[in-house]
Amino acid sequence: MLSRKAEDYLEAILNITEKKGYTRVKDITQALDVKPSSVVEMLKRLNSSGHVIYKKYDGVTLTPVGKDVAAVVKDRHDTIKAFLMIIKVPGAIADKDACIIEHELDAKTIEQVKNLVNFVISAPDYPQWLDHFDTFCTTGKHPCEEEKRKKIGSSTETKHF
Ligand code: FE2
């Protein structure tokens, strides 16, 4: 079982490699905001565990095993980030918090979060409840409640007549 930190490194290496085509120690120090000495230490560990191939001056590449782990973590990250953005968490915060949550959740929870995200984004029209949620976040009122109250109001009015 890899540590959270190790998972973050593998995920970062995958992201950097996808963007630049290669990964160097400097890229990881910037991405994870850590010291070069810590990066080298972790890369040596991940090299011995068979997750990366790290050669001084040559940069770092993921082994197939490392790539598999990184892909799972990245998928979890993207899923949680998408979910947080659906519930109106700003992108930068969603990104930061996804990186914390991604290591902890049960696979079943991730699966259901993913189902929800896919359900929402595959809706043919922008889901009405999301509009309502937006209103709820700013006003504290559920538009359906308002609608209901108006209807009840008008139906009692009718009864009086
Ligand atoms: Fe992450």
Residue 38 Cα, ligand 1 centroid: separation in angstroms? 18
Whether residue 69 is predicted with pLDDT greater than 80 in this model: the reply is: yes
Q: Kindly give the distance from the C-alpha atom of residue 123 to the centroid of ligand 1, in angstroms, as a whole number.
A: 27
Q: For residue 136, report the distance from its CA to the centre of ligand 1, in Å.
A: 29
Verify that 28 and 84 share a domain, yes or no: yes
What pLDDT does residue 157 have? Answer: 55
Distance 88 CA to ligand 1 centre (A): 19
CATH of the domain at 108: 1.10.10.10
Q: What is the pLDDT of residues 12-45, one digit of tens each?
A: 999 999 999 999 999 999 999 999 999 999 999 9
Lowest mean pLDDT among 38-47, 109-118, 148-157: 148-157
- Asked if 50 and 64 sit in the same domain, the reply is yes
Residue 1 in this model has a pLDDT that exceeds 80:
no
Averaged confidence pLDDT in the chain: 92
Write down the pLDDT at residue 90: 97
How remote is the CA of residue 80 from the centroid of ligand 1, in Å?
Answer: 9
Residue 12 Cα to ligand 1 midpoint, Å, equals 8
Same domain, 80 and 142: no
The answer to whether residues 26 and 65 belong to one domain is yes
Alpha carbon dihedral 93, 94, 98, 99, in 10-degree steps, equals: -30
| In a shared domain, residues 103 and 149 | no
What mean pLDDT is predicted for residues 96-105? 92
Q: Which domain holds residue 11?
A: 1-122
pLDDT of 153 over the 50 cut: yes
Same domain? 10 vs 76: yes
Q: What is the pLDDT of residue 156?
A: 61
Q: How far apart are the CA of 125 and the centre of ligand 1, in A? A: 30
Same domain, 135 and 116: no
What is the Å distance from ligand 1's center to 58 Cα?
A: 25
| Residue 81 clears pLDDT 50, i.e. is over it | yes
- Say yes or no: 136 and 104 in one domain: no
Q: Are residues 37 and 5 in the same domain?
A: yes
Q: Has residue 160 got a pLDDT over 50?
A: no
Total number of domains in the chain: 2
> Are residues 117 and 57 part of one domain?
yes
pLDDT value at residue 76: 96
Distances (CA, A) of 53 to 43, 97, 117: 8, 29, 35
pLDDT at 63: 98
79 and 136 inside one domain: no
Contacts 24+ apart (CB under 8 A), 126-130: 130/86
